[in-house]
Amino acid sequence: MEQQVEHSHLPVRGLSLHVAQAGKGELGTVVFLHGFPEIWYSWRHQMLAVAAAGYRAVAPDWRGYGLSDQPPEPEAASYDDLVEDLLAILDALSVPKAFLVVKDFGAMPAYEFALRHPSRTCGVMCLGVPFLNGGSSYTSLPEGFYILRWREPGRAEADFGRYDVKRVVQTIYVLFSRREIPIAKEDQEIMDLADLSTPLPEWFTEDDLAVYASLYEKSGFRYPMEMTYRTLHKRKPIEDPKFQVPVFVVMGEKDYVFKFPSVESVLKDGIMEKFAPDLKITYIPEGSHFVQEQFPDKVNDLLVSFLKDHPVSA
């Protein structure tokens, strides 16, 4: 795979951001935006598929992740930074307009980018997270809910610090591949929820784990925790949001996110259609939170088909 993917660093708003690319892009550019605990490599299957179909695949590591620089003040993390970074990446690569493929927390800056910069966006395909204007309330969930735990400054870092990075990534993949929301008891931390003997999912190899571990050994978890979990409550609802581009939401039916407050109703009660008039929703029956790695061929087919139906043009 590495022979087909080119790596470079771009100067972006005072930081050096790592970008992986594949394909020549005769049909346009597709930008892949990762979530947590992921990095550019999370899109390895999809990058090659769109490149083979005639598109240019671009997958950055967000600031503070993977091979990208760490921001000097992690505690000042904001989703606005990611929106502006994405705009700067497109400018640096001379991409006037791109189709966005996003996942997990990467959905938030992508949705905001599409709303703020419709002239730079051809469409959005999101895995696992519908558009929730202003975010979701977690007050109905127990104190041991992983987002509430990891929102506390230093708590996740102390929890993770008991183990090597490889074990941390493995545990998160095992836990987050399940249908149930990770919730710890009062005397537990989140890392205590997975048995050491639990094998990796069959679609996630030891080689994959080694790549993730090496990149999180470089970046650490401080900024990913700040960005992913400690800024959620700071997000403000967008006034009268209305997507001017096609939006495609793909959900694994066994994704634990379905059990978050309001997620299922947003998807199934027509709420998201109020914000996204050109909306398509597809469900993958056995799909987990990591559906693009679990069922790469299925996701690739859905993606390439949607791209063909919605041409990516400048």
Domain chopping of the chain, boundaries: 6-309
pLDDT tens-digit readout, 17-75:
999 999 988 999 999 999 999 999 999 999 999 999 999 999 999 999 999 999 999 88
Q: Tell me if residue 79 is catalytic.
A: no
Residue corresponding to tokens 């931390």: 189
Give the span between the Cα atoms of 226 and 33, in whole angstroms.
17
Buried b (16+ CB within 10 A) or exposed e, 22-60: bbebebbbbbbbbbbbbbbbbbbbbbbbbbebbbbbbbb
* pLDDT tens readout for residues 155-171: 999 999 999 999 999 99
Tell me which CATH homologous superfamily contains domain 6-309: Alpha/Beta hydrolase fold, catalytic domain (3.40.50.1820)
Band of pLDDT at residue 140, cut at 50, 70 and 90: confident
| 30's tokens | 């597709």
Catalytic residue at 163? no
DSSP state of 36: T
What percentage of residues in the chain have a pLDDT greater than 90?
A: 82
Q: Catalytic residue among 41, 229, 255, 256, which?
A: 229
Catalytic residue among 104, 159, 208, 255: 104
CB–CB of 313/28 below 8 Å?
yes
- Per-residue b/e over 255-264, b at no fewer than 16 CB within 10 Å? bbbbebeebe
Residue 265: predicted pLDDT: 87
309 is catalytic: no
Q: What is the pTM for the complete model shown?
A: 0.96
Please, are residues 149 and 155 in contact by the beta-carbon 8 Å criterion? yes
Rounded CA-CA distance 175/106 in Å is: 20
